[in-house]
Structure 1
Amino acid sequence: MKILHILDHSLPIHSGYTFRTRAILKSQIAMGWEVAGVTGPRYNKPDPDPEIEEGLTFYRTAPVKKAIAPFGELREVKALADRVIAVAREWKPDLLHAHSPALDGLAGLRAAKALKLPLVYEIRAFWEDAAVGNGTGTEGSAIYRLTRAVESHVVKNADAVAVICEGLKGDLIARGTPANKVMVSPNGVDLELFGEIPPPDLDLAAKLGIEPGDIIGFIGSFYDYEGLDDLIAAMPMIVARRPKAQLLLVGGGPMEAALKTQAEASGVAANIHFIGRVPHTEVERYYSLIDVLAYPRKSMRLTDLVTPLKPLEAMAQRRLVAASDVGGHKELIEDGVTGTLFAADDPAALAKSVADMLDDRSGWEAMRDRGRAFVERERNWGVNVARYRPVYEKLIGPR
């Protein structure tokens, strides 16, 4: 079976999007399938073409001349569709698999029609909601409604639809999409990359000026919807109960300056540490110091519908997780079993949840075991990607 994936961007760019793509393609290769990708004109450099990254082949679409919306976007769709058609006529795939955003889906529809191939369209998030979460869009605006309408058009005309979680599936069904047209392929973890965390890195702790124990951490991007302002607001309450508690914030993003200003004004500023972005090879050192990974996402459409990847990685590494009770988290974490859930948008609830965990360590090992077992059983990529097989085979069968 040969599958040509249509992508917004890919490796060597590092993002949650590219890591999911890498996992899907590598798992499909492990299943004996042939795969390749075609990326759009916005992000990846056009040369070399094709480009081999980590053993994966990606064909590139050349940039297009910029124009005001929607003419620039329509040019991008045409350019990507033309590139997919050209690659497909040479490579001869059995099926096209387009991944959100919806512009990729439009290009996929155009190419599939020209090539007379089936199209699977995969939604990783509703991009209009992602824009609201990132602060670059407004819910209900004209652009929001247009993006939603385009996505609905692609979903209606694709041969099958894949989503990463039940929240997205439920929303599509509510729009009128038949339930049997939508499959769920959840975010997963490459268990070969996440073994046992080494003992606390004492050299790193000394460099940071902290002592291991009572370490709360967040590793990821600093977007507003992540709720890191609530985590910083909770720190004085946590320190009141656990005086040695320290917060490590590893990463960066649009909210970094505002969060640093908030932390500097906090009465426990000395307990809050901004680490900055660190190389992927160094991240494990910080995980080794952290007792509780905190994920205080705010309650909004984006976080209620979409499941994040970071809590799964933390559980795979046998780390404790404390997360807000938004819908995306509730699909991953069973309160009191594989982690702890607290009320979203409530620093006091966050503080109590984390402090309670730090107060009582008697159940830590059992909770870590259950979290790791959940990932092994239900969220590893081998299991997830196998879910595509019956969908692909059904679409390819008549050919």
Structure 2
Amino acid sequence: MDVTGLRIALFSGNYNYVRDGANQALNRLVEYLLRQGAAVRIYSPTVAEPALPPMGDIVSIPSFAIPGRPEYRFPLPIPRRAKTDIEAFAPNIFHIASPDMLGHDAVKFARRLGKPAVASVHTRFETYARYYGLGFVEPVIEAMLRRFYRRCDAIFAPSDSMAQLLLKQRMNYNVGIWTRGIDRAVFNPSRRDLDWRRSFGIEDDMPVIGFVGRLVMEKGLDVFSDAVAQLEARGVRHKVLVVGKGPADTWFQERLPSAVFAGFQEGPDLGRAVASMDMLFNPSVTETFGNVTLEAMAAGLPVVAAIATGSASLVEDKVTGRLIPAGEIDNFADALAYFCDHPDARRDAGRSGCEASRRFGWDEVNQELVDGYMRVVRERAAGKMPR
């Protein structure tokens, strides 16, 4: 069988109603699959005004707004009408992108139909609780995730470091890699725009420390702001540029009163914003890959990041940036201060990062997942079942 024989039923808790790195990757995957001649059907919650136009056809799944985070929706199990649609579509593989009620029901339904199910891992859900004072429930969440992933034929991690963690956590023993790509037409050093920086009152020679992403606590906003406070206490010349928006917007602005908040950016505007920074600071430990890290590298920026899944597979310490143990405020501040004070070091690390980013092309990484699909279909046809 080749790719034209694939019929994929894709289940996601958020395919396109709120833009994030995970659903942008899923939409790029579906575009690639359709372009290669595969058949794809998406099952996901929908809203009247989604954040991005969907690739492929979506069957709407009932959902409700998550309390405290109403921009996100929690999908319910697959309704009867959708199950009828799935049976008519006749998939030969199920792809589940989120371990929610919809995902659990999709694995159960795949088993009932005798079809293989795979899961892609997009974030470290078990770590979220610690940012809301509920770290004690992390082992419980991990156990629930293990139960879900072990029922799949295979799981796919976006980085080698995440794959190793999943094996260590015993989530599944059939772990493949589906990494992420980069659009080099959008993210490259030529997008740097000093006039755009000047519009925010940023001097040309001012070292700019960038943050890119949704403004939510699980992105490490507390660590980011504490490290910046250290720089200010030391008298290190710098400016913070924040690109993104989210529920913690007001909190972050109060913690960083001197920062420039450029709001949400996308496409070429995002590429310009990233390239117009001088370094990226990514203290988060929740990512499984770190799209913003790769985008910054492609734009020629050094990256200061936490030693965590995702960034640890992208950043080469003391070559393309610095990797610092999670939460070590003083050491983060030391790394940022060094790049602020040494423009030659910024330039050298940025060039190395830009070169390292060249191996991440979207078609190439999506084909790796297609190869994984076909391997799992062959294994199921040969009688191999998930444990």
Q: Into which bin does the TM-score normalised by the smaller protein fall?
A: 0.7 to 0.9
Rounded to whole Å, the distance in 1 between the matches of 2:63 and 2:156 is 28
**Structure 1 position 384, deviation (Å):** 2.1
* Contact 1:6/1:84 (8 A) holds in 2: no
Cα 1:205–1:56 shift into 2, 3 Å: same
The 5 A counterparts of 1:82-93 are 82-93=80-91
TM-score if structure 1 supplies the norm length? 0.79
- 3-state DSSP of counterpart to 1:117: coil
**Structure 1 position 2, deviation (Å):** 1.9
**Structure 1 position 35, deviation (Å):** 2.1
Q: 1:393 aligns with which of 365, 368, 374?
A: 374
1:309-360 deviation per Cα after TM superposition (whole angstroms, max 9, x unaligned): 1101111222222223334422220012222223432333223212222333
Rounded to whole Å, the distance in 1 between the matches of 2:326 and 2:148 is 33
* Contact 2:12/2:103 (8 A) holds in 1: no
**Structure 1 position 230, deviation (Å):** 3.7
Rounded to whole Å, the distance in 2 between the matches of 1:357 and 1:47 is 41
Rounded to whole Å, the distance in 1 between the matches of 2:181 and 2:101 is 25
- 3-state DSSP of counterpart to 1:252: coil
Report the equivalent of 1:29.
34
Report the equivalent of 1:282.
269
Rounded to whole Å, the distance in 1 between the matches of 2:292 and 2:75 is 35
Shifted more, 165-174 versus 210-219: the winner is 165-174
Rounded to whole Å, the distance in 2 between the matches of 1:395 and 1:226 is 34
Report the equivalent of 2:351.
369
The 5 A counterparts of 1:193-342 are 193-202=186-195, 204-213=196-205, 214-235=207-228, 238=231, 244-264=237-257, 269=258, 272-278=259-265, 280-297=267-284, 302=286, 306-342=288-324
* Contact 2:301/2:349 (8 A) holds in 1: no
Rounded to whole Å, the distance in 1 between the matches of 2:23 and 2:235 is 39
**How many residues end up aligned between the 2 structures?**
367
Cα 1:326–1:118 shift into 2, 3 Å: closer
Report the equivalent of 2:182.
189
Shifted more, 160-169 versus 227-236: the winner is 227-236
Rounded to whole Å, the distance in 1 between the matches of 2:144 and 2:306 is 31
Rounded to whole Å, the distance in 1 between the matches of 2:273 and 2:75 is 44
**Structure 1 position 200, deviation (Å):** 2.2
**Structure 1 position 83, deviation (Å):** 4.9
**Structure 1 position 4, deviation (Å):** 1.6
* Contact 2:188/2:299 (8 A) holds in 1: yes
* Contact 2:275/2:296 (8 A) holds in 1: no
Rounded to whole Å, the distance in 2 between the matches of 1:277 and 1:64 is 25
Q: 2:147 aligns with which of 135, 142, 153?
A: 153
Shifted more, 211-220 versus 351-360: the winner is 351-360
* 1:45 counterpart = 2:51: no
- 3-state DSSP of counterpart to 1:376: helix
Rounded to whole Å, the distance in 1 between the matches of 2:273 and 2:64 is 41
Report the equivalent of 1:348.
330
One-letter amino acid of the structure 1 residue matched with residue 326 of structure 2? A
* Contact 1:46/1:63 (8 A) holds in 2: no
Q: 1:122 aligns with which of 92, 115, 120?
A: 120
Rounded to whole Å, the distance in 2 between the matches of 1:89 and 1:23 is 25
* Contact 1:23/1:190 (8 A) holds in 2: no
Rounded to whole Å, the distance in 1 between the matches of 2:74 and 2:277 is 46
**Structure 1 position 248, deviation (Å):** 1.2
RMSD, matched Cα: 3.3
* Contact 1:197/1:318 (8 A) holds in 2: no
Report the equivalent of 2:12.
7
Gaps of 5+ in 2: 1-5, 67-72, 383-387
Rounded to whole Å, the distance in 2 between the matches of 1:254 and 1:190 is 28
- 3-state DSSP of counterpart to 2:244: strand
Q: 2:136 aligns with which of 136, 140, 151?
A: 140
**Structure 1 position 178, deviation (Å):** 5.5
Cα 1:321–1:10 shift into 2, 3 Å: same
* Contact 1:292/1:321 (8 A) holds in 2: yes
The 5 A counterparts of 1:166-177 are 166-176=160-170
**Structure 1 position 38, deviation (Å):** 1.0
Rounded to whole Å, the distance in 1 between the matches of 2:36 and 2:240 is 42
Gaps of 5+ in 1: 67-72
- 3-state DSSP of counterpart to 2:40: strand
* Contact 1:241/1:355 (8 A) holds in 2: no
1:52-88 deviation per Cα after TM superposition (whole angstroms, max 9, x unaligned): 935422221234899xxxxxx9992242xx4553222
**Structure 1 position 242, deviation (Å):** 7.2
- 3-state DSSP of counterpart to 1:331: helix
Rounded to whole Å, the distance in 2 between the matches of 1:19 and 1:392 is 20
**Structure 1 position 308, deviation (Å):** 1.9
Rounded to whole Å, the distance in 2 between the matches of 1:313 and 1:75 is 30
Cα 1:111–1:46 shift into 2, 3 Å: farther
TM-score if structure 2 supplies the norm length? 0.81
Rounded to whole Å, the distance in 1 between the matches of 2:100 and 2:197 is 45
